[in-house]
Every structure is written in structure tokens, then in C-alpha cells.
Amino acid sequence: MRVVQGLAQAVGFIAGGLIFVKGGDVRNMTKAASLWMAAAVGITAGAGLYVLMLAGTLLPLL
């Protein structure tokens, strides 16, 4: 569980760094969300939770 916690913290830090405000507009929100989803799918695949991984892959595509 500590490994998952560390990964979530690192991905959150990187995703937060992608988001910036320029001239009142927020940029790169979709890129940060895509990074979070890719990390979540990778963590669930590594944990062997394939049904959850499939749901986490298909639901964002809808």
C-alpha cells in the first residue's frame, strides 16, 4: 500500500505541475486527467485487478 501511496503522490505532483493559468485561462487540465487515469490503470493492472482495470479504461472513453 505504501508503494501505491507513493505513486499517487508522485503522479499528483506531476499532474499538478502540468496545470497552469495563462491570462485567466486554465491550461492542460485534460492532459493532467489523462496522466491520472493512465497511472490508475497501471496500478490496478499491476495489482492484478483486471476487471477494475477494464472499467477504468472504458469509462473515461465514454
Specify the number of domains making up the chain.
Answer: 1
Identify the pLDDT of residue 48.
Answer: 93
Q: What pLDDT score does 8 carry?
A: 86
Strand positions, DSSP E, the chain: 20-22, 25-27
What does pLDDT average to in each consecutive run of 10 residues of the chain (62 residues)? 86 86 85 89 92 91 86
Q: Tell me, what amino acid is at 48?
A: G
pLDDT of residue 55: 92
The conformation of residue 47, written as its DSSP 8-state character, comes to T
State the residue range of the domain holding 22: 2-61
Grid coordinates standing for 12?
499528483
Cβ neighbours for 31, distance < 8 A, ≥ 6 positions apart: 18
